Every structure is written in C-alpha cells, then in structure tokens.
Amino acid sequence: DSFDFSGITKLGPIPKYMALAGMIIILLMQERSKKNPILRVLLGAYDVYGVTSWLSDVLSYSRLLALGLATGVIANVINMMAVMGGDSAFGVIVFILVFVLGHTLNFFITVLSLSSSSASFTRAAAGLSRLFRQQTSMLKSKI
C-alpha cells in the first residue's frame, strides 16, 4: 500500500555528490562573458537558484497532463451516461441533453483550469524567444 523507497539508500551518497557537482559547475561556468570573477559567481548562484523553476515547470506540465487525462475520462463517462436513455424518442432527448450539457460543463472546467497554466507557458515561450534571438545574433556576428 505504501511506496518503497529503500532502493534509494542503496545508491549511498552518489546522488548527493552528483547534485553538488552540478551546482558547482553551474556556479562557476555561468555568465562566462563577465570579466569580474565575483560577479560571475554571484550570477552563477542566481542561476543555481533558477533551477527550481525547472522543477516548477515540470510539475506544471505534469498537472496539464493529468488535466488532459481527467478530461478524457469525464468525457467518456458523459458519453456512457448519455447512452443510458435507450433507443426510444425519450432516450434520444436524454442523450442530446446529457451530451450537450455534460460536454459543455467539461469544456468550461478545462478552460478554467488551463487559465492558471498560461502564465508558465508564457514564461517558457519568452525564454525560448530570448534564446532564439541570442543565437541568431551570434550567427549574424560570425557571418
């Protein structure tokens, strides 16, 4: 019934040292364009802190995946409920009502849930846009 995390202890201190090595590499290798070594280390420390936003983005996209799966299950249940009316004229009316009302509510619940995710998507798109502009300016300077 509970999760078994005993396999993690078999690895010993290796994951901790790997994370520490990654932090040190980010700390020392970021902002290499700056000549001041103190500024480089301070900006590297800021970038180490920025790693937490990656975890935040992964969790946000996992939530979007769960939302998509839940929406699909709800839609399937609505379809099954709509068919329960039978083949009569009353069944067709029940089908139309349950189908339209159920899927409309499901749609609005999804839109409401997705509105909170637009901020993280906008932040990711802005970062990609900035990276693209940097890369194109570097290519133009080499040509």
Secondary structure (DSSP) of 60-129: HHHHHHHHHHHHHHHHHHHHHHHHTT-SSHHHHHHHHHHHHHHHHHHHHHHHHHHHTTHHHHHHHHHHHH
Element (H, E) at 17: helix 14-29
Residue 32: which of 24, 41, 23 has the closest Cα? 41
Q: Is the pLDDT of residue 66 over 60?
A: yes
- Residue range 103-133, pLDDT digits in tens: 999 999 888 877 766 665 666 667 667 777 7
Query: pLDDT band at 79, cuts 50/70/90?
Result: very high
Q: What is the mean pLDDT of residues 17-36?
A: 82
Residue 81 · residue 95 · CB < 8 Å: no
Q: Quote the CA–CA distance of 133 and 126 in Å, as a whole number.
A: 11
Q: Quote the CA–CA distance of 12 and 76 in Å, as a whole number.
A: 46
What letter represents residue 78's amino acid?
Answer: I
Q: Quote the CA–CA distance of 45 and 29 in Å, as a whole number.
A: 10
pLDDT at site 55: 79
Buried b / exposed e across 16-47, counting CB within 10 Å, b at 16+?
eeeeeeeeeebbeebeeeeeeeeebeebbeee
- Residue range 67-76, pLDDT digits in tens: 889 999 999 9
User: Which residues, in sequence order, are CB contacts of 91 under 8 Å at separation 6+?
Assistant: 85
DSSP 8-state assignment for residue 34: -
